[in-house]
Amino acid sequence: MSTETTAPDAAAAEVKIRAIGLKKSFGDLEVLKGLDVDVHSGEVVCVIGPSGSGKSTFLRCLNKLEDITGGTVVVDGFDLTDPKVNLDSVRQHIGMVFQHFNLFPHMSVIENVMLAPVETKKSDKSKARENAVRLLAQVGLADKENAKPAQLSGGQKQRVAIARALAMDPDIMLFDEATSALDPEMVGEVLQVLRDLAKGGMTMVVVTHEMGFAREVSDRVIFMAEGYIVEEGSPDDLFGNPQHERTKDFLDKVL
Ligand code: ADP
Ligand code: MG
């Protein structure tokens, strides 16, 4: 390939998510105090930090589940604070998985996974079913298609929730403490699904208390405290050589 026509690292450098001076207040309480974050295509960014530091609020601002008070968030080139931007179409590219799975209890597993693509008319029913079968196999639940959520373990429910988010064919996945509500023996099977997604090149922002996972899987770790990004870096740097007292204190408590 001719070198003149190739921009340096252009493909690797594609920015999927850019937060610029992001602020969020609830009434008088300023929860995010100006965050600057870039997430590149295919990157896995883990967000760690003490409870109440604003991690969930940050994640929720990335698909504008929260109104943004100051600064901006740009996803795939769309400025979420621009009133002309169609939020629904931006959100269709972003899958989100929460601590609590929120599956529809009266629907079977496969119906839960098919629902959003059918309701949003992203695909017809037979296509949606085909895709759901594939996704359930991907998360290791091929045999649970017709089960009801109540018949599943917590780890299985969370894997259904991940398949459901993937059914909209997102190119960004946000995880907010996806394993925090699980019994310890089920954490591994869910983290394995995240690991596989990361290997497949999914762009991911993962709020987690699983420091081993963050260290092993992420390309970059962000440490947040009190509404600020205190420090960010490669997992080896952040865990192995933290620069700030606040980071050291936190890691001393959790490691
Ligand atoms: P984390 O996920 O790091 O534990 P959160 O983003 O959930 O932190 O919360 C950060 C702060 O914002 C906390 O003080 C929390 O009480 C407050 N907060 C979060 N959501 C709301 C809300 N909807 N209304 C008022 N305060 C909120
Ligand atoms: Mg949280």
Tokens at residue 43, please?
Answer: 């990157």
Ligand 1 proximity of 55 Cβ (cutoff 6 Å) = yes
Tokens at residue 22, please?
Answer: 């992001």
ipTM of the complex: 0.99
Cα 54 to ligand 1 centre (Å): 6
CB count, 10 Å around CB of 144?
A: 20
Ligand 1 proximity of 240 Cβ (cutoff 6 Å) = no
Contacts 24+ apart (CB under 8 A), 238-245: 239/211, 239/214, 239/215
Ligand 1: residue whose CA is nearest its atom 1:
52
| Ligand 1 atom at minimum distance from 54 CA | 6
Ligand 1 proximity of 67 Cβ (cutoff 6 Å) = no
pLDDT on residue 155: 97
pLDDT on residue 78: 95
Best CA proximity match to 204, nearest among 225, 229, 178: 178
Q: What pTM was estimated for this model as a whole?
A: 0.94
∠ CA 144-149-153, rounded to 5°:
80
Ligand 1 proximity of 89 Cβ (cutoff 6 Å) = no
pLDDT on residue 13: 62
Tens digits of pLDDT across the chain (255 residues):
444 444 444 444 699 999 999 999 999 999 999 999 999 999 999 999 999 999 999 999 999 999 999 999 999 999 999 999 999 999 999 999 999 989 999 999 999 999 999 999 889 999 999 999 999 999 999 999 999 999 999 999 999 999 999 999 999 999 999 999 999 999 999 999 999 999 999 999 999 999 999 999 999 999 999 999 999 999 999 999 999 999 999 999 998
Which ligand is located closest to the Cα atom of residue 176?
A: 2
